[in-house]
Amino acid sequence: MDSVTANTSGFLYRSPELYDSIYRFDDTGIRLTKMCHELLLRNGKTPPGPVLDLGCGTAYKLAYLNEAGYDCTGVDYLEAMVSYARDEYPDMRFEVGDVRDVRIGRKFDVITCLGWVIENVHSCEDIARVMETFAVHANPGALLVLGTHNPIGDLSALGAKSSFSIEREDFKATGEASFTVDRRRQVLTRLLNWSLPGGGTEEEVTRYRLFFPMELEYYLRSHGFGDVEMYDNIELAPSELEGSMLYVTATYQG
C-alpha cells in the first residue's frame, strides 16, 4: 500500500470530528497556529494575501488565518477531511488532492505544510515531487512554512505526543503510542493502541519519513527556495535545534 494511503487510513482519519476534537483545542495546536501567523507577519506577508495550506486536515489552523483576513485555500488527501472542513468553514475554498501532484491552477504568497504531512511521503523521488508542488504554486517571493519531526534533536520521538484522549458526551476513547526507528531508511514508526467504547480496541500503525536539516535544505534549494531558516520551538527563538520539532521557512526565488 502507498505510504500516504496507509498513513491516512487510521481511526482518527476516518473520523474528522474526532480528529478535530483532539487537535483543534489542544494547547500545542493553538500555539502552533499562532506561531504560523507570527511567521507570516515577520516575513511581511499580511492580509489579504493568498495562502495555500497543503494537508489542511479539518482546517482549524487555516481558519485562524482566514479570520485574520488572509485569502485561504486548503488541500487534503482525504475526502472526509475536506467535506468536514467545507461544512465547518463554508467561506473558504478546499480541494481534495495529493501533495505530490495536486495542481490548484493559481499561485500564492504563502504556502504552509504543517502537522505531520510531508513525513507521509517516503521515497526521495516523491519528496522531490512534493517540492515541485510547492514551487508550482509559489509566487515570486512566496513564503513556505513547513513543520516536521526533528530527528537530529529527538531521533526516537521521546518528545512526540504519545497519549491521546477523546472526551465527548457521545464518545470517549484513549490511545497510547510507542515509537521505533529504522535508521537506514529514515523512517519513524508509531504504534498507537486505542481503547474504544464498549471494550473495543484498534491498533494504528503510521510510518513517517525523517528529514535532517541539511537534507531538507538541499531539497528546498534544489526547487528554487532560498533564505532557509529553521527553529525547534514555537517561540521561534534561536537554538541549536535540539527540540523534537523542526519549523522551517523558505522564500521562493524561482
pLDDT of 25 over the 80 cut? no
| pLDDT band at residue 225 using 50, 70 and 90 as cut-offs | very high
pLDDT of 31 over the 90 cut? no
Which pLDDT score is estimated for 27? Answer: 67
Which pLDDT score is estimated for 49? Answer: 96
Which pLDDT score is estimated for 5? Answer: 86
Q: Is-contact 156 174, C-beta < 8 A?
A: no
pLDDT of 59 over the 80 cut? yes
State pLDDT tens for residues 114-123.
989 999 999 9
C-alpha span between 145 and 179 (Å, rounded): 26
Which has the closest alpha carbon to 192: 69, 57, 56, 11? 11
| pLDDT band at residue 154 using 50, 70 and 90 as cut-offs | very high
State pLDDT tens for residues 157-181.
888 888 988 888 888 889 999 999 9
| pLDDT band at residue 23 using 50, 70 and 90 as cut-offs | confident
State pLDDT tens for residues 33-58.
999 999 999 999 999 999 999 999 99
pLDDT of 102 over the 70 cut? yes
